[in-house]
């Protein structure tokens, strides 16, 4: 099935640094979501974006829905060790229904002290 | 709120046996549940979408006779891997959605790790 391309694939950063990752698609999505997955666990929803151009924050996390509706980015400010994990973007093309998501390839984040 | 559980969390079985995985929405009624499969260091791949009381919709390439899905109530969906083989070993994750107007997001279970010997 289709997947969204995420970059970078992985990153090592030091505690306190800011992190930026993005997600691109060849097709349009009407909803963009960002999830975090810890090892051996299911994904947890971090941020949901519903309008093109929308910029939404959740604590140290900020995400934006690209104007073209084909991309999104996630920023994490002042990273801490518990930010370690895999971050997935997900897009939904249909509106108004509990329709299926397309997941990105993931960005693995590792934070060093 | 919006807690989803899965049982078992991990299972090891012999080749040829069938394994049932349960997905429950604990504090809400889920009109739609989704089943995903995830290989190590890979993304989540949707296997099927199930709506309560109706047949599941399978993604292309997913064998419906191999992966039986039952969504008998608004809080329970089951995935049965029939005649499991080593290549079916994977991390299976379910998600549940309220499906109400304006509340469509999927809440994920903790996953079930299946190992077929």
Alpha carbon of B77: minimum distance to chain A alpha carbons (Å): 16
A96: confidence class by pLDDT, cuts 50, 70, 90: low
Strands A61-65 and A71-76: antiparallel
Query: Quick one: residue A44, left, alpha or beta (phi over 0 = left, psi -120 to 50 = alpha)?
Result: beta
**Quick one: average pLDDT of A82-95?**
90
Of the listed ranges A19-28, A41-50, B8-17, B95-104, the least confidently predicted one is B95-104
Residue B50 to residue B21: CA distance in whole angstroms: 14
What 3 state SS string does B72-107 have?
Answer: EECCEEEEEECCCCHHHCEEEEEEEECCECCECCEE
For the cut 60, the answer to whether the pLDDT of residue B102 exceeds it is no
B53: confidence class by pLDDT, cuts 50, 70, 90: confident
Contact A97 B104 (CB under 8 A): yes
pLDDT given for residue A26 in this prediction: 92
Contact B113 A98 (CB under 8 A): no
- Using one digit for the tens of pLDDT, what is the confidence trace for A39-79? 999 999 999 999 999 999 999 999 999 999 999 999 999 99
Q: List residues in chain A touching B: CB distance below 8 A.
A: 1, 3, 31, 33, 35, 40-45, 48, 88, 92, 96-106
Strands (E), chain A: 5-7, 10-14, 19-24, 31-37, 44-49, 55-58, 61-65, 71-76, 85-92, 102-103, 107-112
Contact B43 A42 (CB under 8 A): no
Question: Taking CA atoms, what residue in A is nearest to B90?
Answer: A40
pLDDT given for residue B100 in this prediction: 59
- How far is residue B59 CA from its own chain's centroid? 13
Residues contacting B31, CB < 8 A, separation 6+? A98, B51, B52, B74, B97, B98, B99, B100
Contact B43 A1 (CB under 8 A): no
**Quick one: average pLDDT of B2-29?**
94
């Amino acid at each position: 099935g289709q997947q969204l391309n995420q970059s970078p694939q992985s990153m090592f950063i030091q505690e306190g640094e800011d992190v930026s990752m993005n997600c691109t698609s060849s097709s349009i999505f009407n909803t963009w979501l960002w999830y975090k997955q810890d090892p051996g666990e299911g994904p947890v929803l971090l941020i949901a974006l519903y309008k093109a151009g929308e910029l939404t924050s959740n604590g140290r996390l900020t995400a934006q829905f690209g104007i073209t509706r084909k991309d999104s980015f996630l920023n994490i400010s002042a990273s801490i060790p518990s930010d370690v994990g895999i971050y997935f973007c997900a897009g939904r093309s249909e509106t108004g229904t509990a329709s299926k998501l397309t997941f990105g390839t993931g960005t693995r984040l590792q934070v060093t002290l | 709120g919006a807690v989803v559980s899965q049982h078992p969390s991990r299972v090891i079985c012999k080749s040829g046996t069938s394994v049932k995985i349960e997905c429950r929405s604990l504090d809400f009624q889920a009109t739609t549940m989704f089943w995903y499969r995830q290989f190590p260091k890979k993304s989540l791949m949707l296997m099927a979408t199930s709506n309560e009381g109706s047949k599941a919709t399978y993604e292309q390439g997913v064998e419906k006779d191999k992966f039986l899905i039952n969504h008998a109530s608004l809080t329970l969906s089951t995935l049965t891997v029939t005649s499991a083989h080593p290549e079916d070993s994977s991390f299976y994750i379910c998600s549940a959605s309220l499906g109400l107007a304006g509340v469509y997001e999927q809440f994920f279970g903790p996953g079930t790790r299946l190992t077929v010997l």
